Amino acid sequence: MLITCAVAHIATVLTNGKNTVSRKIRDIHLTTAEKIVLMTGLGLMMIGAIIESIAINSL
């Protein structure tokens, strides 16, 4: 959820009816708060994956 909230406005292809606008990844700029939330979300995902792999291996 944190990752989705941090990058909700980011898109490389935007479509509005018949108009389609594409932009490069370099054109995307995140604010400091969005970067912090994104890194927190990725960190929590990594911790969850490690805990899950340990639980699977202990079966």
pLDDT of residue 14: 76
pLDDT of residue 47: 97
pLDDT of residue 51: 96
pLDDT, averaged per 10 consecutive residues of the chain (59 residues), comes to 76 80 82 89 94 93
How does DSSP assign 1-59, residue by residue? -HHHHHTTT--SEEEETTEEEE--GGG----HHHHHHHHHHHHHHHHHHHHHHHHHHT-
